[in-house]
Amino acid sequence: MQPAFSKNNIPIAFATDTNYFWALMVALESLQVNSSNEYNYDIIVLEENLNENQIQLLQSYMKDKQNYSVRLIDMAPILSKYGEELFYKREYWSRAIYYRLFLPELLPEHEKLIYLDVDLLLLGNIKDLFSIDLQDALLGGVLDLSLFRQKFIKYVKKIKQPIYPYINSGVLLMNLKKMREYNIVKKYIKILQHQPDLHYPDQDIINIVCQGNIKLLNIVWNYSNFPFREFSSCKGNLTLRNLKKDYLAARSHIKILHYHIKPWRFPDAGFSDIWWSYVDRLPCADAIRQNSLMLFKMEYQALKTRYSDLEKSTSWKITLPLRIFADILKKLKSVNDNR
């Protein structure tokens, strides 16, 4: 696949499936609102199962945008080539997470590219990200805050792989030319074949294979709306304290806002008002709201079921006296505080 434009071409790849199609539309709207007319945007959508209505809607949305091109790549043959069983999925991720791993091979005529998840908003000019000089690095990315969680530290010991620094794979500036020279896809596949117990396969594999060849980007290029509770107890950790400062400073000039807590599923997600403001700009806003309402109802029903199961459990019944006692203590404290 050749670059779509001969001059000022900024290639941007997204990976999606039918469940995340609406998020893709919102991400594209944010790109269009905050982009520059001086540049051309070469949009490549990696997908497997978009339906005809979704494809038509996407093409219709892009039709009158002169400095935009959108092209789709069907990933099913690529995954089949390496064996379907290799690309395992879980309840909380689909096979779409693996698509980004194949970009160096899929786009042999491209030397550099931005990869983006669809659950984000582009609030700054993407050309500033594309202009960052990677030098000899394979890719650039933002530090993932997960690496400071105790759970993650134990996980790294378990898989016995050196993955620090550990970047989030939702926003990547890729040096495709260098990646091809490094024969990176073959290395990705080898890890998949020999390490089937990875928590976040795409992200873990990228971090393992690219160790020592990663350029860390400013947190403004992948600012998560996930509430990072470790910041509340970071007094003794200088690295974490400095990271907290960077995180708070970046809040006022976010370039890419990444929704790890999805606003279309959780009404109280951080920065959800900004995401919905871009939804309202789209002709398909009503369809997005209807889809979101259905997901809200599903989440509510799932919570209700889990709570009902918990109430029936032995542990819930055994701890009832303790919970009653804790409630009494809270009430007594409240009475004393009000005296």
CA–CA distance, 147 with 167 (Å, rounded to integer): 9
| Global pTM value | 0.86
Three-state DSSP at 282 gives: coil
Domain assignments of the chain as residue spans, ordered by start: 9-283, 291-339
CA nearest to 234, candidates 245, 220, 226:
245
Cα–Cα distance for residue pair 1/339, rounded to 1 Å: 74
Tell me what pLDDT residue 207 has.
92
Alpha helices in 6-91 (DSSP H): 21-33, 52-62, 76-82
The β-bridge relationship of strands 223-224 and 68-74 is: unpaired
Q: State residue 253 phi and psi, 5-degree precision.
A: -145, 55
Give the pLDDT score at 334: 63
Return d(Cα 98, Cα 105) in angstroms, integer. Answer: 13
Confidence (pLDDT) at 331: 64
- Give the DSSP H/E element, type plus range, for residue 74: strand 68-74
Whether residue 48 contacts residue 95, with contact meaning beta carbons closer than 8 Å, is answered with: yes
Tell me how crowded residue 213 is: count the other CB atoms within 10 A of its CB. 16
Determine the pLDDT at residue 271: 95
| Residue 271 and residue 225 in contact, taking contact as beta carbons nearer than 8 Å | yes
Q: Pick out the chain residues at pLDDT < 50.
A: none
The pLDDT value recorded for residue 333 is 60
CA-to-CA separations, 117 to 26, 45, 168, 258, in angstroms, rounded:
12, 11, 11, 8
Rounded-to-integer distance, Cα 122 and Cα 249, Å: 18
Domain at 9-283, CATH class: alpha beta
Handedness of CA 83, 89, 95, 99 (dihedral sign): negative
Rounded alpha-carbon distances, angstroms, from residue 2 to 8, 70, 108, 109, 315: 14, 13, 8, 6, 61
- What integer pLDDT is reported at residue 316 of this predicted model? 60
CB contact set of 243 (below 8 Å; sequence gap of 6+):
143, 145, 148
**pLDDT score for 247:** 85
Give the pLDDT confidence of 177-236 residue by residue, as tens digits. 999 999 999 999 999 998 877 888 899 999 999 999 999 999 999 999 987 665 555 555
